[in-house]
Structure 1
Amino acid sequence: MIDNINELRTFIVAAQQGSFTKAAAKLGVSTSALSHAIRKLEEQLNIKLFNRTTRSIATTEAGEQLFQNLLPLFESIEDNINALSTFRNTLSGKLRINGNDHAFLCVIWDKLMAFMTRYPEVELELTSDLKFVDIVSGRFDAGIRLGHGLQQDMIAVKIADDMQMGVFATPHYLAQHNAPKALDDLNHHRCICVKIPSMDGVMQWEFMPKGKNRKYNPNQVIKWQPKGQLLLNNSHLVKQAVISGQGLAWIAKNWIYDEIERGELVEVLVDYAVHYDGYYLYYPNRRQDSPLFKALVDCLKMDK
């Protein structure tokens, strides 16, 4: 029998933070007090919940099972408490969302700002990643990804139109080099490359065969491995590099609309450009009954 339910809450926060120090700061207690509470819980359960190193902690197999079973229960309690704020005509609580720079800045930024204005007691934590993240193991409430990259066991709500990709360069660069007319011509150009954190290599560029529907089709897509002097891991840097005339960049068109309109960037290989299914907000089904989460979905979905 657990003596104090707060010890379970302490365990959950520690598992989420992956650090006793961070968990203690979040709970407003000392690290030693938190560590003592975890040891007491382990003694009561007669099982080890965390593997500890000098710098971090990680749940054991038993600890992870306990965490996965307890988290929905505590979230339900938290959601029910937060739901009481509707009697004050507002909502409160915290939402952790994983996505990428492009999705946050070009697609939903204005809607998120409106959401925060509408619900000033809600705390949003946005984490931008190039790599694909398991939102469950990453302790996120929701993720934002393109339609073809969604996890199958998630609820998904479309929040953006199709995304148009293209190859772009400055007029000055193209004046100095022959503009590519076919995909093989890319081998003779400097390309701005993107490093994917979860992979040991460079992100491939994707195209659709000339004369085909531009909509992404995994059975027809042509993958091409770019090579260049510049290797970056941030979409802001890719945009800056192509504007600076460092070569060709494969980039989302709405990321550079202003530069296209001003004639600062020109698209090449238009007939091969690929269109992806738009961004979706995706989340586990245990979140769908939360009033706070319903408000977020209502804010971001496309019919707004």
Structure 2
Amino acid sequence: MQVDLNKLKTFYTLAQAESYTGCAQRLCLTQSAVSHAIKKLEADLGYDLVDRAGRKFRLTREGEFLFQQCAGIFDRIDDTLDALAAGKGHRISLTLGAPAEFGSSVLIKGMAPFLNKHPHVHVDFFLDPYLLAPLLSDDLDIIVDCIPHVHETLVCLPLMREEYGVIASPSYVADHRIQTIADLSRCRLLSFDKDLLWWKNFINALAGQADFGCDGVIRISSVRGIINAALASMGVGFVPRYTVLKELENGQLMELFPDTEVLNDQINIYLKKRNFEKPPFPDLIRHIQSLQLH
């Protein structure tokens, strides 16, 4: 049996993207072209590959089997092409994803030595809070994230613990007479959300203390925005400590309640298993692991 490899590649991409729209965007085709290619492939093979009975995208049993086999084939082709490119010094392009503050404060600042050592490697950066979906769809090659992800196609490598701190300007602390956690009841809190889910690591560390409260919440959708608001004496913030080390050192900000054992997050590196040992990922991983929080 002869099968059109272009149609097979279209099916493989569709199964990865789990949507006709995503497949069309990745292959620069129309949705109708993708649909036509899949139907033609199904006709050539003699069985359905996509289960069209439900509203959610789903492969048939035969489609799942073909997808797994295609993964091995196309991954080996990609590995071969990457090896040839590396051997000839051809440029390899990667996209590294991370949350905005960690990406800009740590990864981007620390990436120059790696790029200088590996001039054939080109790295783009995608700074966003939502990283899993683009990693699974291969729009990202590797991510660093404090959100735990579990997926059968991924490798998870522990990177570091992310410590948090409660911060405010000295003038705000003095004006609002902040000495104990109960004093926050007359303060504005700076948070990603009105429900204070952003503050959960601090709140959970209080073990249900009844005297925790606030005088209002200012919603700010970035860590740097929270820091700047704290510097401007707009309220009390809660941020990763590495993001305010300089401000704490030079006295622009104060860390409140340092004896409270605030819960920390685990920052991990995630990438596809098939890329784990493929150049230049091992070197990139080692470089990321060598970075320090300053």
TM over 0.5: yes
Q: CA deviation at 1:206?
A: 2.1
Gaps of 5+ in 1: 209-219
Corresponding letter in the other structure for 1:203: W
Query: Structure 2 vs 1, CA of residues 293 and 236 (structure 1 numbering), >3 Å: closer, same or farther?
Result: same
Corresponding letter in the other structure for 1:166: G
Q: Does 1:204 align with 2:199?
A: yes
* TM-score normalised per structure 1: 0.73
1:10 and 1:34 in contact (8 A); partners too = yes
Q: CA deviation at 1:4?
A: 0.9
Identity within the alignment, %? 22
Question: What is the match of residue 166 of structure 1?
Answer: 165
Structure 1 window deviating more from structure 2 (253-262 vs 118-127): it is: 118-127
Corresponding letter in the other structure for 2:92: S
Structure 1 window deviating more from structure 2 (266-275 vs 149-158): it is: 149-158
Question: What is the match of residue 211 of structure 1?
Answer: none
User: Secondary structure of 2:166's partner?
Assistant: strand
Cα distance per residue 1:87-143 (max 9 Å; x no partner): 224552444x443123212222234344445344535352521x6846764545433
User: Secondary structure of 1:286's partner?
Assistant: helix
Greater RCO, 1 or 2 (C-alpha within 8 Å, sep 6+): 1
Q: CA deviation at 1:201?
A: 7.0
Matches within 5 A, 1:24-35: 24-35=24-35
Separation in structure 2 between the aligned mates of residue 105 and residue 159 of structure 1, nearest angstrom: 17
Separation in structure 1 between the aligned mates of residue 125 and residue 291 of structure 2, nearest angstrom: 24
Matches within 5 A, 1:254-273: 254-273=242-261
Separation in structure 2 between the aligned mates of residue 221 and residue 68 of structure 1, nearest angstrom: 45
Corresponding letter in the other structure for 2:254: V
Separation in structure 2 between the aligned mates of residue 31 and residue 152 of structure 1, nearest angstrom: 28
Question: What is the match of residue 178 of structure 2?
Answer: 179
Question: What is the match of residue 9 of structure 1?
Answer: 9
Separation in structure 1 between the aligned mates of residue 26 and residue 132 of structure 2, nearest angstrom: 23
Query: Structure 2 vs 1, CA of residues 15 and 115 (structure 1 numbering), >3 Å: closer, same or farther?
Result: farther
1:193 and 1:249 in contact (8 A); partners too = yes
Q: CA deviation at 1:290?
A: 1.2
Q: Does 1:142 align with 2:137?
A: no
Corresponding letter in the other structure for 2:183: D
Q: CA deviation at 1:78?
A: 0.6
1:15 and 1:58 in contact (8 A); partners too = no
1:193 and 1:232 in contact (8 A); partners too = yes
Corresponding letter in the other structure for 2:240: A
* TM-score normalised per structure 2: 0.75
Q: Does 1:106 align with 2:105?
A: yes
Separation in structure 2 between the aligned mates of residue 278 and residue 48 of structure 1, nearest angstrom: 39
Separation in structure 2 between the aligned mates of residue 262 and residue 89 of structure 1, nearest angstrom: 46
Question: What is the match of residue 241 of structure 2?
Answer: 253
Question: What is the match of residue 216 of structure 1?
Answer: none
Cα distance per residue 1:48-104 (max 9 Å; x no partner): 527699xxx963143566545533542332122111122224552444x44312321
Q: CA deviation at 1:255?
A: 1.0
Separation in structure 1 between the aligned mates of residue 221 and residue 52 of structure 2, nearest angstrom: 32
How many corresponding residue pairs? Answer: 282
Q: Which of 223, 229, 253 is the equivalent residue of 1:241?
A: 229
1:93 and 1:292 in contact (8 A); partners too = no
Query: Structure 2 vs 1, CA of residues 128 and 72 (structure 1 numbering), >3 Å: closer, same or farther?
Result: farther
Q: CA deviation at 1:264?
A: 2.1
User: Secondary structure of 2:283's partner?
Assistant: helix
Structure 1 window deviating more from structure 2 (41-50 vs 258-267): it is: 41-50
Separation in structure 1 between the aligned mates of residue 122 and residue 50 of structure 2, nearest angstrom: 31
Q: CA deviation at 1:152?
A: 9.0
Structure 1 window deviating more from structure 2 (61-70 vs 97-106): it is: 61-70
Q: CA deviation at 1:271?
A: 0.9
Separation in structure 2 between the aligned mates of residue 75 and residue 145 of structure 1, nearest angstrom: 25
Separation in structure 2 between the aligned mates of residue 65 and residue 240 of structure 1, nearest angstrom: 53
Separation in structure 1 between the aligned mates of residue 274 and residue 77 of structure 2, nearest angstrom: 12
1:165 and 1:252 in contact (8 A); partners too = yes
Cα distance per residue 1:164-219 (max 9 Å; x no partner): 311001122212201142x34333321112239xxx873333249xxxxxxxxxxx
Q: CA deviation at 1:17?
A: 4.7
2:205 and 2:261 in contact (8 A); partners too = no
